[in-house]
Amino acid sequence: MTNEELWLIQKILPSIYKHFKKYPESMLARIYGVYRVSMNKYEPVNLILMGNTLKFRRKENIYRIYDLKGSRFARNVNTTDAKPSTTLKDVNFFNNQSWNQEINLTLKDC
């Protein structure tokens, strides 16, 4: 995570907290911590620890699972033999979104 992303997370954290207080069943990823790791001879790195969002009421409605990071670098999974349980990545989402509406949530899911 860049320093700019870290700054943004810190800025929106109070709003995120209010959202989860109001909507405890929200499917947004929960942020458990943001850390800066420093080691000798290396540049410091910012890390974010987020909760898993795979808690659906009806698992039979899951057609695809994505692990989205907001990058296209090395973010593709070969889908030749993909199953509904295969975790796809950003490039897969981008390609699939061009021909299909990938995100279909009800008001209860938001």
pLDDT band at 11 (very low <50, low <70, confident <90, very high): very high
Q: Which domain holds residue 61?
A: 56-101
In a domain, 24, yes or no: yes
Residues pairing with 66 in the sheet:
88
Burial of residue 84 (CB within 10 Å: 0-12, 13-18, 19+) is exposed
pLDDT band at 81 (very low <50, low <70, confident <90, very high): confident
Residues 4 and 46 in one domain: yes
CA 12, CA 39: separation in Å to the nearest integer? 28
In a domain, 33, yes or no: yes
Residues 18 and 36 in one domain: yes
pLDDT band at 18 (very low <50, low <70, confident <90, very high): very high
Residues 11 and 34 in one domain: yes
Structure pTM?
Answer: 0.51
Residues 45 and 62 in one domain: no
pLDDT at 107: 62
Most confident of the following: 29-33, 82-86, 95-99: 29-33
Residues 1 and 48 in one domain: yes
